[in-house]
Amino acid sequence: MEKKIFYTDYEDESIFNGYNGEFQTEILRDWNHEVPSHVKVFNESKEDRNAVIYFALFLEFHINRSIETLFPDFDNYLGISKTSTSTKINLLASFRLFPRQIFQACRCVNNIRNEFAHEFSIISLDQLKILPENRKKSTVDKLITLTTEYEGDYEYETHTEDSDNLRNRYKSLCLNTITAFRIFQPQLIRLRDERIDRK
């Protein structure tokens, strides 16, 4: 089965329905300057719990940046750090700015993060496979679905059986989603400048 492009809106529902290549040089430059150190921390984390929570926080940073781009005074009125991650994801999703799978990925990452943050007994991603069905569906099952259905710039390596594992899939989904926020950021700024800030 041919994989779909993670950054493309196949339902024609979103304002930004695909990446147009805009500011590619600048985006790549910033990525190479800002992201590799975080990937290194993830790779060097021996426990899945630390790696999962670290990358979930890195993704939340990009969610926050998009919200603050659209709502410059959001932090003054509601508090960006006081608002739950799920609320921030749903707020952005309600505008239908990006393809829906990007927000599905955000929810999946957040759900997985919450399992590790609130269940002391969970220390490995493989333990998600034995969760109750409703929790398994929104975490490990969704992770496998999204990383099977969509490709991206940072698709997990599947050259060997050992490399196709939940940790690499989680890493891939996080990096694909972070990439999505970064490539759509210039369009988001223009949307605010041209439509929201217009007098």
User: Mean pLDDT of residues grouped by 10 in the chain (199 residues)?
Assistant: 90 91 92 95 96 98 94 85 94 95 98 96 96 97 95 60 83 95 94 70
Six-digit token pair at 141?
A: 């099952």
Among 147, 145, 137, 138, residue whose Cα is nearest residue 173 = 147
**How far, in Å, CA of 102 to CA of 173, rounded?**
9
Whether the CB-CB separation of 67 and 192 falls below 8 Å is answered with: no
Determine how β-strand 150-151 pairs with β-strand 4-5.
Answer: parallel
**How far, in Å, CA of 199 to CA of 195, rounded?**
9
The type of residue at 103 is F
Residue with structure tokens 């439509």?
Answer: 195
How high is the pLDDT of residue 162?
66
How high is the pLDDT of residue 157?
52
Residue with structure tokens 């990439």?
Answer: 179
Whether the CB-CB separation of 196 and 70 falls below 8 Å is answered with: yes
**How far, in Å, CA of 4 to CA of 37, rounded?**
29
- The DSSP result for 46-98, as a single string, is SSHHHHHHHHHHHHHHHHHHHHHHH-TTHHHHT-TTTS-HHHHHHHHHHTT-S
How high is the pLDDT of residue 72?
87
For 21, counting Cβ atoms within 10 Å of its Cβ (0-12 exposed, 13-18 middle, 19+ buried), the class is: exposed
Q: What is the pTM of this model?
A: 0.91
Residue ranges of domains in the chain? 22-193
